[in-house]
Structure 1
Amino acid sequence: MRNAVAVALLPALVLAGCATEGGEAPEAEGGPTTGPVVDVSGDLGALEERFDARVGVVAVDLQDGRRVEHRGDERFGYASTVKVFVAAALLDATDEVRRGERVEWSQADIDAAGYSPLTQESLDEGLTLDELAEAAVRESDNTATNLVLERLGGPAGLENALRSAGDEETSVDAVEPGINDVTPGEPANTTTPAAFAALLESIAKGDWLESADRERLFDWMSGNATGDPLIRAGAPEGWIVLDKSGGAGPRRGDVALVHPPGREPIVLVVLTERNDLSADYDDALVAEAAALVLGALD
C-alpha cells in the first residue's frame, strides 16, 4: 500500500533527530551516527543462501545510533536508486528560480533513454527542471534523469557533487540506460551500501540539503511508484517509508528513510545481486532483508 499519509509526516521527518520540547530544531551534529552494531549476519547469510544471492545492507537508527551492517563495504550496482541523489544534487546546486526554467527534449532523447513515462507524455510542452527531478524520483523516468544529469555536468558532475557530500565510493560513469551496466570486479556504475547510507543520513540530518529542499525531496520519495514490494513490504504496519528503488537484470535495491510511529527514522539501504548473473532479480529478497533488519531494530 502506498504511503497515503507520508506527506503529512514530512515535517517530522525533516526535524527527525533534533526536535526539542519547544518544537525548535537545533542543528544536528555533522558526520555519520555511530552506535552499537546489531548482528543479524547469520539470518542475512541464510537469506543469501536461499535466494542464491549477495545482500548488502546498512541500517542506521537515528533514534539511538544502533547499526546493522552486512557486506556494507562491498560493491553493488545501484541502478535507479542513484536517482534520489541525482535529485538531491540538483536541489543543492540550484534555487527555485533556476529549477522553474522549462526544459524541452526530443523523441530521440526518449528513444535513447528508454523507460520515460512522464517525459513521453510531456514531449510537446516540456517540463521544468523541478518537475524533471520529481519525475526521476517518483516515476524513475530515464529521460528526466538524463536531462537533470546534463544540468549537473553529466556523470562526472554528479560524481563531483557526491564527493563534495562526503561519498568517496560511488562511481558514476553513464547516463540512462547505461547506469545499469555493471561488469563484475569493475567499479563503474557501482557503490557500497555504506556510502549510500551515509549520503541518505547526511540528507536526513541536514548536513547536505537545506530544510526546504529536504522536505521537497522527501515528498518526492513518498510517492516512489515502484517501491511497494520492497522495503515498504518488509516494514511493520503503520511505519512510513520514503524510498527510491532500482533494479535491472540480477540486481535490485532500495534506499529509504523508514519512520516508525513516534520516533526518529531509520536509514536503510538494501542492495542485492543474484549469484547467477543471468537470473532476474527478486523483489522478495529485498523485502525479506528489510524485514529482518527492521525487526532487529524495532
Structure 2
Amino acid sequence: MIDITRRNALMGTAALVLSGCVGRTAHAADLHERLGAIERAAGGTLGAYVLDTASGEGTGWRQDERFAQCSSFKLSLAALALHLQEAGEITLNERIAFTKADLLQHSPVTSQNLDTGMTIGELAQATMVTSDNAAANLLLHRFGGPERLTAFWRALGDDTSRLDRYEPELNDVPPGEIRDTTTPVAAAHTLARLLTDNALREPSRDTLIRWMIAVETGGKRLRAGLPAGWRAGDKTGTGIGQTNATYVDIGWFELPSGQMVVVTSYFRPGKITGTIDPGAEFALAEVGRVAADWAMEQRS
C-alpha cells in the first residue's frame, strides 16, 4: 500500500504541475519538465512520450531508454492478427483448439472455452480487452513466435521494439536486459502508425480502436487522468517480480476537436511491493493528466 507521505507528495506535485505553476506555455521543454516532476514525486523511474498525431510534435521523459513491455505487446499482437487477415495469410474465423495445459495465470476468457476452442478473432479480442495470457501465447504460436511480432514492428519502421519470449517469462526484465523491451518514443510512433497511417485498413483500425476502448485493465492509469467524457483507449502491462517491477500503459485520447494524441508510459517503482502498487498506477494517471493539459495548451 502506498504510504500517506508518498501519496501526499504525489498529489502535491500534481497540484503544482496541473495548476500551471510550471508555466502554461505549449513548449516541449515544459512538458518534459512536468513529466520529470511526476518521476521525482513518485520515487521511481518514469519513461513517457506524448505525440500529437495532427502536428507530429512530441516529447517525453526518458523517452529513449528501454523499458519492459509486459502485456502492452498484446496491442501490436492484436494488430498483427488484423494485418495477417488483410494479407490473406489467416482468417479471423479460424478456430484454434487448446487444452488445460495451455492455460496460464490470468486466462479469464480462454479458461471458459476449453471445450470449444476460440477463433483467432476471439483470441485477439480477449488478449486485448482482458489481457488473457493464454490467448496471447496461442496467437504467438500460430503466427510464428515472438520473432514474427518483432518482424511486424520492423515492417512498421520500428527498429527498437522486440519480443523474445512468451508469457509469463517476458515479464522478467531486470535492469540492463534488452529482451522484450521497447522505448517510449518507439512505442508511441508505432501506435500512431497503427491508428492513423495505412499500416491497417480502416475496418481493421476501427476494430483495434474499439478493442482499446473496451480494455478492462486501465481504469486507474492513463485514462484516470483524462477529463471526464474524453474518448480514449489503451493497453496496460504489469510485471511484478522479486527484484524488479514495471507498470505500463500505452494508449490514445481524442481532444474535443477530434484530434488524436498518443501517450506511452512506463514506471518502475523504487520499492517492490509484491502486489499492485497504487502509487505506480497514480503516477501513470498523472502522465495522462499532464498529456491532456499539454495537448489542450497546444491549441489555446
Q: Same fold (TM over 0.5)?
A: yes
Q: CA deviation at 1:278?
A: 6.1
Q: Which runs of 5+ in 1 are unaligned?
A: 1-34
TM-score, with structure 1 as normaliser: 0.83
Q: Summarize deviations over 1:233-271 as a string: whole Å, max 9, x none.
A: 011122111111111222111111101222211011111
State the partner residue of 1:286.
Answer: 284
Answer yes or no: is the 8 Å Cα contact 1:58–1:197 preserved in 2.
Answer: yes
Amino acid in structure 1 at the alignment position of 2:295: L
1:225 counterpart (211, 216, 233):
216
SS in 2 for 1:39: helix
State the partner residue of 2:99.
Answer: 106
State the partner residue of 1:253.
Answer: 248
SS in 2 for 1:64: coil
Q: Take 2:28 and 2:58, find their aligned partners in 1: how far apart are those partners?
A: 5
1:7-18 to 2 correspondences below 5 Å: none
1:93-132 to 2 correspondences below 5 Å: 93-95=84-86, 98-110=91-103, 113-132=104-123
Q: Among all aligned residue pairs of Structure 1 and Structure 2, give the percentage whose two residues are the same amino acid.
A: 32
Answer yes or no: is the 8 Å Cα contact 1:59–1:197 preserved in 2.
Answer: yes
SS in 2 for 1:56: strand
Q: Take 1:292 and 1:99, find their aligned partners in 2: how far apart are those partners?
A: 38
SS in 2 for 1:198: helix
SS in 1 for 2:91: helix
Q: CA deviation at 1:42?
A: 2.5
Q: CA deviation at 1:73?
A: 0.5
Q: Take 1:141 and 1:263, find their aligned partners in 2: how far apart are those partners?
A: 31
Amino acid in structure 2 at the alignment position of 1:76: F
Q: Which runs of 5+ in 2 are unaligned?
A: 1-25
Q: Take 2:253 and 2:29, find their aligned partners in 1: how far apart are those partners?
A: 17
Q: Take 2:73 and 2:135, find their aligned partners in 1: how far apart are those partners?
A: 13
Q: CA deviation at 1:36?
A: 6.6
The number of equivalent residue pairs is: 262
Does 118-127 or 45-54 show the bigger shift? 45-54
Q: Summarize deviations over 1:42-85 as a string: whole Å, max 9, x none.
A: 23222212211111111111233332311110011111111000
Answer yes or no: is the 8 Å Cα contact 2:35–2:60 preserved in 1.
Answer: no
Q: Take 1:123 and 1:52, find their aligned partners in 2: how far apart are those partners?
A: 43
Q: Summarize deviations over 1:217-241 as a string: whole Å, max 9, x none.
A: 1111110010111111011122111
Q: Relative to structure 1, is the Cα distance of residues 295 and 85 closer, same or farther in structure 2, using a 3 angstrom cutoff?
A: same
State the partner residue of 1:64.
Answer: 55
Q: Summarize deviations over 1:58-114 as a string: whole Å, max 9, x none.
A: 11112333323111100111111110001111111124871101111010110xx32
Does 234-243 or 63-72 show the bigger shift? 63-72
Amino acid in structure 2 at the alignment position of 1:175: Y
Q: Take 2:165 and 2:185, find their aligned partners in 1: how far apart are those partners?
A: 22
Q: Take 2:273 and 2:219, find their aligned partners in 1: how far apart are those partners?
A: 25
Answer yes or no: is the 8 Å Cα contact 1:38–1:66 preserved in 2.
Answer: no
State the partner residue of 2:10.
Answer: none
Q: CA deviation at 1:38?
A: 4.9
SS in 1 for 2:262: strand
Q: Does 1:240 align with 2:231?
A: yes
1:1-298 to 2 correspondences below 5 Å: 37-95=28-86, 98-110=91-103, 113-249=104-240, 250-276=245-271, 281=277, 282-298=280-296
Answer yes or no: is the 8 Å Cα contact 1:244–1:255 preserved in 2.
Answer: yes
Q: CA RMSD in A?
A: 1.8
State the partner residue of 1:4.
Answer: none
